[in-house]
Amino acid sequence: MVEHEDTWFLFYSANKWDTAAYAIGYATCVGPTGPCTKPLEGPWLAASDRAVGPGGQELYLDDGGAHRMVFHAWEPDAVGYAAGGFRRLYTVGVRFVGGRAVTGDP
């Protein structure tokens, strides 16, 4: 959970973790204990051509004070341990624009 301009952002993983449907979502909250609402109809960070089934995220501030998220995901050619896959570590910049979280560096 991260606070930005009096809004709390709760990031979470959802769906079955060993499939391409696993993804990261977020809710906005008025405080650390809620209430919270989901501003999006679907995932915030889902499968891409580089990483499939992202989840297990943590946010941190880099040396310059910018938010970054670290998460793990399957490589696209092997999703799930049964398919011979393994989860790699990835990182992405996170910004807050107009009350929403967006990916990408400033």
What is the structure's pLDDT at 104? 84
Tens digit of pLDDT for each residue in 7-46? 999 999 999 999 999 999 999 999 999 999 999 999 999 9
Tens digit of pLDDT for each residue in 47-62? 999 999 999 999 999 9
Q: What is the 3-state secondary structure (H, E, C) of the chain?
A: CEEECCEEEEEEEECCCCCCCCEEEEEEECCCCCCEECCCCCCCECCCCCCEEEEEEEEEECCCCCEEEEEEEECCCCCCHHHCCCEEEEEEEEEEECCEEEECCC
What is the structure's pLDDT at 15? 96
* Mean pLDDT calculated for residue range 84-89: 94
106 pLDDT band, cuts 50/70/90, is: low
* Mean pLDDT calculated for residue range 63-78: 95
